[in-house]
Chains A and B, each alone.
Chain A
Amino acid sequence: QKEVEQDPGPLSVPEGAIVSLNCTYSNSAFQYFMWYRQYSRKGPELLMYTYSSGNKEDGRFTAQVDKSSKYISLFIRDSQPSDSATYLCAMSARSGGYQKVTFGIGTKLQVIP
C-alpha cells in the first residue's frame, strides 16, 4: 500500500462550483498535513497547513483532517478558472527531528468558465 494515495483526476468543474479534493494515507506517524498548488512547470506553492484533526479555513479554501480515518480533504468554494492547477496533498512525520515531506501524485483540476 502506498503511503499516500491521491486520485490524479483530471477533475473538471464549472466556475463557481465547490471542489472537493481528497487523500488517504497509511502511515500513522504523519503529523503535519499540507496542500500545495502546482501550476504547470512551476514549483509547488503551499496553500494550507495543519497538524490537528478538524477543519481549517482560509478564504475560499478549507482543509479537513480526519486522523482516525487517515483521510484529508481540501475544499474550494466558488471555484475560479485561476484555480486550475494540480493540487498536491503532502504529509510529514518527524524523521530524526527534521521534516521529510511525502507527496501524493496530485489531482489535476480544471475550472471551466
Chain B
Amino acid sequence: EPEVTQTPSHQVTQMGQEVILRCVPISNHLYFYWYRQILGQKVEFLVSFYNNEISEKSEIFDDQFSVERPDGSNFTLKIRSTKLEDSAMYFCASERRGSWGTEAFFGQGTRLTVV
C-alpha cells in the first residue's frame, strides 16, 4: 500500500541552525500538508501546498518557515533559525480526493529536537 515517507526520523539541531525536513508524498496525490505536534499537545496545522504554492498557512508558520517541492516528488519544510520551542514531531500529509470525499494520509513523522 502506498505511504507517505518522511526523513529523517529524528533530527537533533542546535538553536539557531537551519533544518530541512523531507517528505515523499503518495505519488498521485496533489495536496500536501505539514502539521506539528509538540509533546503532550494536539496535532496542529502548519501549511497546505497545492500546484507548487502555499494555499493556506497558520499563524505558527511565520517567516522562519518555508516549504517547497523542488523536484516534483519531495516536499520539504525548512526552518531557517530554529528555536527551542520548535522541538516537536513534524508530520507530512498528502491528500487524495474523489467523488466520495477526501482523505489525508500521514507520514510517520520527524522528531525535531532543538538544543
Footprint of B on A, CB under 8 Å? 32, 36, 41-46, 49, 51, 88, 92, 95-106
Contact partner of A32 (CB less than 8 A), chosen from B102, B105, B108, is B102
Query: Are A44 and B91 within 8 A (Cβ)?
Result: yes
Shortest CB-to-CB span from B77 to chain A, Å, is 14
Contact partner of A102 (CB less than 8 A), chosen from B45, B56, B91, B104, is B45
Chain B interface size, as a band, is 20 to 34
Task: Please report whether the interface of chain B is mostly helix, strand, loop or mixed according to DSSP.
Answer: strand
**A105 partner residues in chain B, CB cutoff 8 A:** 41-42
A100-B48, A103-B42 given as contacts; is B111 within 8 A of A41 (CB)? yes
Q: Does B18 contact A (CB under 8 A)?
A: no
Q: Does B65 contact A (CB under 8 A)?
A: no
Task: Please report whether the interface of chain A is mostly helix, strand, loop or mixed according to DSSP.
Answer: strand
A90–B106 Cα distance when bound, in Å, is 13
Query: Are B101 and A98 within 8 A (Cβ)?
Result: no
Find the A residue at minimum CB distance from B9.
Answer: A41
